């Protein structure tokens, strides 16, 4: 859903497009996964209090091994695409697949241990899987929340942009405001220009700075604001 919304053009209602829908989808998925992890932990605890004998162990082990292999193969494919396009939702999907694959093999190990008579191992395996799910989903929850509330994960980027502009265009940067927009970011750059500069020259300088932000930093529709000094 989030990926499909990214392809939609800007509208009269959404002037900046639908980039944050992708982060919202990742946020909702992370919340759902956290709830599922809590459910797994609760059920594992109940099985420790009230042990239940294992049934169809051989079939379960074969299913877990097959599921783990398929999930890990899919995870590496999806993760490659997520890194290429810097998509939070696809990255979460890849992490979920890694989690599924790892969880399947952890479950397989705990079932084998329980099969050979070690008590509570199926419940212990479930709790380990739940802890891993908590960790993976908490990371995705944090990343998507930062984008939704306009948090900047890379504060050093402000200084990098300022140094680039001052060195390349010989103007002083007063301040830079960054705002994540899905997989991209928008920038508002305040620069100081000589008050004696002609309007044509000022327009040319601002246009060159804006184009440089787009080409060199992949900024989404940056705004350059002049201040006469």
Q: What is the CATH number of the domain that holds 16?
A: 1.20.1510.10
* Per-residue pLDDT, 192: 93
pLDDT band at residue 138 using 50, 70 and 90 as cut-offs: confident
* Per-residue pLDDT, 84: 72
Q: How many domains does the chain have?
A: 2
Q: Which of 130, 148, 144, 146 is nearest to 35 (CA)?
A: 130
For residues 199 and 143, state if they share a domain.
Answer: no
For residues 60 and 130, state if they share a domain.
Answer: yes
160 versus 25: which is more confidently predicted? 160
Query: Do 47 and 123 contact (CB within 8 A), yes or no?
Result: yes
Inform me whether the pLDDT recorded for 165 exceeds 90.
yes
For residues 129 and 207, state if they share a domain.
Answer: no
For residues 41 and 141, state if they share a domain.
Answer: yes
186 — phi, psi (to 5°)?
Answer: -105, 155
pLDDT band at residue 5 using 50, 70 and 90 as cut-offs: low
> The sheet that has 223-228: what strands, in order across it?
172-181, 184-193, 223-228
Q: Which of 113, 76, 80 is nearest to 97 (CA)?
A: 76
184 — phi, psi (to 5°)?
Answer: -110, -175
For residues 203 and 105, state if they share a domain.
Answer: no
Range(s) of the domain holding residue 195 = 156-228
Tokens at 69, concatenated: 């292999």
Q: What is the mean pLDDT of residues 10-15?
A: 67
For residues 142 and 76, state if they share a domain.
Answer: yes
pLDDT band at residue 92 using 50, 70 and 90 as cut-offs: low
Q: Which of 212, 144, 224 is nearest to 176 (CA)?
A: 224
**pTM of the model as a whole:** 0.60
For residues 191 and 84, state if they share a domain.
Answer: no
Tokens at 189, concatenated: 């750059």
In a 13 Å sphere around the CA of 126, the CA atoms on its Cβ side amount to 18
Residues in the chain: 229
Among 120, 148, 176, give the residue marking a domain's end.
148
For residues 140 and 162, state if they share a domain.
Answer: no
For residues 165 and 113, state if they share a domain.
Answer: no
For residues 121 and 21, state if they share a domain.
Answer: yes
Element (H, E) at 19: helix 19-49
* Per-residue pLDDT, 193: 92
Among 96, 126, 148, give the residue marking a domain's end.
148
For residues 172 and 121, state if they share a domain.
Answer: no
Residue 41 CB partners (closer than 8 Å, separation 6+):
126, 127, 130
Structure confidence by residue, pLDDT tens digits, 19-74:
677 778 778 888 888 898 888 888 888 888 887 776 677 787 888 788 888 888 88
């Amino acid at each position: 859903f989030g990926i499909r919304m990214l392809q939609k053009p800007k509208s009269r209602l959404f002037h900046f497009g639908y980039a944050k829908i992708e982060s919202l989808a990742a946020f909702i998925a992370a919340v759902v996964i956290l709830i599922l992890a809590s459910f797994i932990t609760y059920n594992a605890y109940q099985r420790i209090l009230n042990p239940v004998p294992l049934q169809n162990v051989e079939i379960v082990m074969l299913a877990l091994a097959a599921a783990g292999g398929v999930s890990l193969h899919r995870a590496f494919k999806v993760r490659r695409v997520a890194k290429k396009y810097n998509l939070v939702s696809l990255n979460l999907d890849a992490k979920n697949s890694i989690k599924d694959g790892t969880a399947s093999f952890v479950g397989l190990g705990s079932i084998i241990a329980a099969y050979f008579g070690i008590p509570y191992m199926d419940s212990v395996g479930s709790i380990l899987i739940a802890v891993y799910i908590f960790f993976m989903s908490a990371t995705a929850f944090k990343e998507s929340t930062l984008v939704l509330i306009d948090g900047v994960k890379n504060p050093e980027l402000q200084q990098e942009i300022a140094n680039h502009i001052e060195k390349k265009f010989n103007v002083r940067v007063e301040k830079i405001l960054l705002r994540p927009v899905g997989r991209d970011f928008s920038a508002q750059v305040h620069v100081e220009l000589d008050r004696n500069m002609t309007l044509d020259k000022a327009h040319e300088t601002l246009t060159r700075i804006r184009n440089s932000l787009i080409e060199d930093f992949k900024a989404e529709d940056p705004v350059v604001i002049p201040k006469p000094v």
